[in-house]
Amino acid sequence: MPIRVLLIAGSLRIGGSERILIQILRQMDRTVFEPHLALLACEGTFLQHVPHDVPVHSIGVSRARFATLPFACLCWRLRPLLVMSFAAHLNSAVILAKWLLPPGTRVAIREGANITLSEVASAWRRKLVGFLYRRADAVVCQSEDMIQHLTESFHIPKRRLFRIYNSVDPPALQQSANTGSPYRGGGPHLACIGRLVPVKGMDLLIQAMPSILERFPHATLTLVGDGPLRNQLTCMAQHLSITHAIRFLGYSSNPFPFIRHASVVVIPSRSEAFSNVALEALSLGTPVVATDCPGGMREIAQHTRRLHLCVMNSASLANAVRLTLASGESSKRTPEPDFLQYFSPARMMRSYTELMVATIGHSGAIPELNNMEMTTR
């Protein structure tokens, strides 16, 4: 009989975690697993992509803080052997429910950010998260860097930490990106994708633009995303007299044409657990310049020649962008086959299968795993 697994998320609005969740639901081996999906809100663009054989359950509350008891009741009704949270704001509620779940139910969570950093969470929240995460049966980390931070800061036993890289689906990306160029003029065109929040470092990129414009006077920067810093960043661009070169696009449900047709994608983050934007750009053949920030960026760079890391300041960022543009690298648009294979959905699914089997303790369910090298260690 297949192993019943319950995956949990807040909703299925567009986002990196939601894309990964849909990939997992699609690729789960139905001879081994019986997947169910629970949502706080049964809404979002990705809801239509949930496989038809996956039951979708509403937890019935609007906020994560109220989800613990309804979630526990759902688990008593379904009796899954494993529950796994794919939403950072739900992780604590799911762990708190552990003592209310049917005996033998295992709890796994996926962490989407390096929660140990002060830029990501306040001191009291880090203490609470550390206390709770030590009670989880498994924690999915997006990089080796995250494993190190969780081990050192939260003292989580390393045997419960599983490094699983995100994946990219090139055919789906190509289909979404297969439109005309959204840019005007000769360029070069820089793209930066993400929320306008301090940790994303858009201020560093705007400060770097005057130096980039000295070398490439017709360069443009398109910021795809919205957030609380929009007015502050707009004022910064005005102060630097570069508003003619910067476009604040706001949120876009399909940023991939901007990524595909950019001369360079720039990721100026101060912290980046594991950059989906970098994976997407590189899989579309677009070169990337990124700050060498805490997180998984160095691990991505080990598998490509088109990700260029620089020191986390505006001068280094400007220099790296200028060098990349001058190299003509943006004209080479063929993705690297080894990169695509390493970050393939199939490899990611194998890693999640290893995690689920190891956490539940049913290694006999997939005999071939016994002789395979672990991808999560």
- Does a structural domain hold residue 376? no
Task: Return the CATH number at 316.
Answer: 3.40.50.2000
Asked if residue 352 and residue 328 are part of one domain, the reply reads no
Write down the pLDDT at residue 328.
84
pLDDT score, position 373: 47
In a domain, 377, yes or no: no
DSSP letters spanning 187-220: --EEEEES-SSGGG-HHHHHHHHHHHHHH-TT-E
Q: Are residues 104 and 75 in the same domain?
A: yes
Do both 221 and 116 map to the same domain? no
Same-domain check for residues 71 and 117: yes
The verdict on residue 176 lying in a domain is yes
Query: How many domains would you assign to the chain?
Result: 2
Domain identity same for 222 and 351: no
The CA-CA-CA angle for residues 53, 174, 222, to 5°, reads 120
pTM: 0.87
Helix (H, G, I), strand (E, B) or coil at 39: strand
Q: What pLDDT, on the 0 to 100 scale, is given for residue 365?
A: 54
- For residues 50 and 137, membership in a common domain is answered with yes
**Any domain includes 77:** yes
Classify 24 as helix, strand or coil. Answer: helix
State the pLDDT at residue 69: 93
Q: Is the same domain home to 114 and 18?
A: yes
Does a structural domain hold residue 317? yes
* Whether 48 and 177 share a structural domain: no
Q: Does residue 92 fall inside a structural domain?
A: yes
Q: Both 323 and 208 in a single domain?
A: yes
Q: Which residues pair with 241 in a beta bridge?
A: none
Output the pLDDT for position 46: 84
Residue 162 and residue 307 in one domain = no
Structural domain contains residue 294: yes
Whether residues 154 and 281 share a domain: the answer is: no
Q: What is the mean pLDDT of each run of 10 residues along the chain (377 residues)?
A: 93 82 93 94 87 94 88 96 91 92 95 76 81 92 91 90 92 89 93 94 98 97 96 97 96 93 96 92 96 94 96 97 90 87 93 92 55 51
Residue 48 sits in the same domain as residue 87: yes
In a domain, 180, yes or no: yes
Full residue range of the structural domain in which residue 246 is found: 170-339
pLDDT of 375 reads 58
